[in-house]
Amino acid sequence: YEHNSNSVAQKIYVELNNTVPCVRLLNATHQIGCQSSISGDTGVIHVLESEADLEWPLSKGPNPPYMVLLESSLFTKSIMMKMKNASSRVAGVVVVPKTSPPEFSPHTTCPNENTGVYTETYDHNLAHCNTTVWNPRGNGLSYEEFDFPVFSLKEDNETEVIKQCYFDHNRVVNGSGLQYPLCAMQLFSHMYAVTDTATCMRRGSIDFSTSPVMVCNPLGDYNVCAFIRPYNSTAFGHKENESVVVAAARLDSRAFFLQDSTGAEGSVSGFVTLLAAAQALREATQEAPPTRNILFAFFHGEVFDYIGSSRMVYDMKNNKFVIDLDNVHSILEIGQVKTLRSGTNLFLHSDPVSRRNNTIHDEVRGSEMILFVSSTAGLNFSFVETGFSQPLPPSSFQRFLRARAIPGIFLADHQTAFNNRYYESFYDDAAHLNLTYPSNLSPEEQLEFVTDTAKSLTEVATAVARALFKQAGGNNSQVNNINADPKTVTQMLYGFLVRSNNSWFQALMAPELKDKVFGFSFHCVFCLSEPNPPQYYVGVAKLPHQANALTYLVQYLLANLTGTATNLTQSQCKKPDELPNESTYMYSYFWVQGMVPPNSTQRESFCVRTAVRLAKAVSPAFDLGDYVSKEYSTWTESQWTFIKARIFLVASRDLEMLTLGVGVAVLFTSLLVTYFVSTKADVLFSAVREPNNGAY
């Protein structure tokens, strides 16, 4: 029966498998995103060819509601808001990503406006981007709420099927009326959560059964951290006579369609630079350890009101981290650092408010001089200090300043507003970062090909590594020996922006994690079969059991780039505490797959000893139960049952009503016949008596 019903469904519907939905997010005050009705939304397909063509689905078309298919060039705030305001005639929207527009940022003009350091009490003149609008291209589309489903199509073949169905059945020619059947689409993306985070968390906590169902989940994951000199991982709180320089970058990004987040310039350029700097410092810090420690911190969830950095600061304040805020000497954070041309500049941003303190000012000035003078020797760019009156750009550093005045610098490729034309959009991808390869190269050859982008970021990483070494009190004689590796940078860019499932990333990963990292993501609705970069959306917190693919990749990359390959066997690597001179309190131990040597099929696996740790990156608001917090992020993601998209042919309303009428007539006729037969059953089905047989 099930096989027959599926066969009938296959004859009626064409399933669209490679789609990405816009989903619902909530915070302390409101909800954003999209959803369908509980039974899905259905509409006649209309392919939008220009903004003027909106008149058909919004007013003229005789067969509403419409399912509007549009290419990315028409995916604008203006068009989406017109459809939102006429939602009774719009059943949903399907976006086909094509060529990039000149600029597009669906984020706000003032990212993380209410959770940075600049408030009414810190310096109200600098709050709410009053002096510098960081993202002037931002149209806020990602923060709108739509009461119809919005999907992105990821497969060209499926796009052509939909368009062909539209041209065959729905397209109006010379104003003539449409002939049935019409091509229609149905989208399912019903969201459980409504109103705000406090409402959905309260509903999820009501125990109607032995296993209550959460209707929304907090966003979050893990931060990736590593000290050049590790501390005992079980000894939290202040470390006497210890001073630590924090080197930071953010991991995550977002887009209107969350799973389309790529963040090439927005996040990847920064954290790849910091990873390369960490590798460049490995030998120098082992041969001549600087007087201060260095903490490499990769923060997750920063797009959503600084989830990762606010969590680390909270843990430092409450003796839940291996150091506290008093141990932090200074901070150097890497922001957006797109490809630099020869003779261009990188800008050093600092906080004008804390610099009113002479001690802080002198320390920042000293850090700047380190970067100005010694770190760029022999490199093709310069560092430029921004004005004292300008606030810090959106940065993790701001969360530290909310807790304590700390000297620090934020490094970026923009002096005022972002240069990034596609900030937090799906166009901020490899192409935007000018990551291009000769067409005749195989995937393995592309992995090894050193691009101009890689060369540029290698120079930035070299400058950052030298600056960190000097800031930590390293020996000046070692500085010019510190150089980032362009091959490593190009491999990271390829893996993070083109194909994460490559031979180098595989070699650095633990065997038990390869399916989680290179297979289907736990958060993926419809994953594509072809190779892709990892997802940069932080996702919902799955603590304490698993992190997302991006976190694992950065964790294992940092471990391999800064750790030590040991001679431990696999069993010893799993239980190193049983050996002398090994301690899981001080180090982490990772058994990694290793490369496959030439003319062999067996990997040369080995054990890496590393100081890399994962640290919780979930907003303290959820530990505190403060779902209306103004201090911490309160972002959650709604749960849903399933995501589905399909097209089919729909008959005219008259034919449907005729079919229904005939069906009802047949039903009542059958009931009357059944009633008549049952009342006359004794007559119609009486048995004819046979005469009694005589006995002889």
Interval 278-319: pLDDT, tens: 999 999 999 999 999 999 999 999 999 999 999 999 999 999
Tell me the chain's radius of gyration from C-alpha atoms: 30
- 602-632 in b/e form (b: 16+ CB < 10 A) is eeebbbbbbbbbbbbbbbbbbeeebbebeeb
> From the centroid of its chain, how far is CA 82?
28
Q: What is the model's pLDDT at position 204?
A: 81
Q: ω into residue 544 within 30 of 0, thus cis?
A: yes
Over residues 50-108, the pLDDT tens digits come to: 999 999 999 998 889 999 999 989 999 999 999 999 989 999 999 998 888 889 999 99
Statement: residue 689 has pLDDT above 70: no
Q: What is the model's pLDDT at position 526?
A: 37
> Which segments within 174-251 are labelled E, that is strand?
182-188, 216-218, 220-227, 244-250
Q: What is the model's pLDDT at position 213?
A: 74
Q: 186 falls in which pLDDT band (50, 70, 90)?
A: very high
Statement: residue 215 has pLDDT above 60: yes
Q: What is the model's pLDDT at position 650?
A: 86
Q: Which of 148-157, 199-208, 321-330 is predicted least confidently?
A: 199-208
- Report the share of the chain in percent with pLDDT over 90: 73
CA-closest candidate to residue 460, choices 340, 332, 333? 340
Q: What is the model's pLDDT at position 372?
A: 66
Q: Cβ distance 300 to 382 under 8 Å?
A: no
- 521-537 in b/e form (b: 16+ CB < 10 A) is bebeebbeeeebbbbbb
* Site of tokens 């970067």: 371
Q: What is the model's pLDDT at position 84?
A: 95
Q: What is the model's pLDDT at position 691?
A: 56
Q: What is the model's pLDDT at position 174?
A: 67
Q: Cβ distance 196 to 31 under 8 Å?
A: yes
**Helical (H) or strand (E) element with 409:** strand 408-412
Structure tokens at 276: 């390369």
CA-closest candidate to residue 244, choices 308, 328, 169, 130? 328
Q: What is the model's pLDDT at position 594?
A: 95
CA end-to-end span of the chain: 58
Q: Quick check: helix, strand or coil at residue 607?
A: strand
pTM of the model: 0.91
Q: ω into residue 407 within 30 of 0, thus cis?
A: no
Annotate 67-122 with DSSP letters as a single string: EEEEEGGG--HHHHHHHHHTGGGEEEEEEE--SPPS--B-S-SSTTTTTSS-SHHH
222-251: average pLDDT: 97
Annotate 457-499 with DSSP letters as a single string: HHHHHHHHHHHHHHHTT--GGGGGG----HHHHHHHHHHHHT-
pLDDT mean across residues, the chain: 90
Domain boundaries, the chain: 220-563+611-618, 564-610
CA-closest candidate to residue 166, choices 49, 15, 11, 46? 46
Statement: residue 411 has pLDDT above 50: yes
Over residues 348-359, the pLDDT tens digits come to: 999 999 999 999
Work out whether strand 244-250 and strand 293-299 pair parallel, antiparallel, or are unpaired: parallel
The residues near 268 (Cβ < 8 Å, ≥ 6 apart) are: 262, 433, 493, 496, 497, 536
CATH architecture under which domain 220-563+611-618 falls: 3-Layer(aba) Sandwich (3.40)
In DSSP terms, 43 is beta-bridged to 185
Over residues 127-139, the pLDDT tens digits come to: 999 999 999 999 9
Q: Which of 132-146, 157-171, 618-632 is predicted least confidently?
A: 157-171
Q: What is the model's pLDDT at position 523?
A: 37
452-460: average pLDDT: 94
The residues near 6 (Cβ < 8 Å, ≥ 6 apart) are: none
Q: What is the model's pLDDT at position 212?
A: 62
Q: ω into residue 65 within 30 of 0, thus cis?
A: yes
In DSSP terms, 383 is beta-bridged to 346
522-537: average pLDDT: 61
Q: Which of 168-182, 287-301, 492-506, 559-573 is predicted least confidently?
A: 168-182
Q: What is the model's pLDDT at position 210?
A: 55
Q: Which of 22-31, 132-141, 173-182, 467-476 is predicted least confidently?
A: 173-182
11-39: average pLDDT: 94
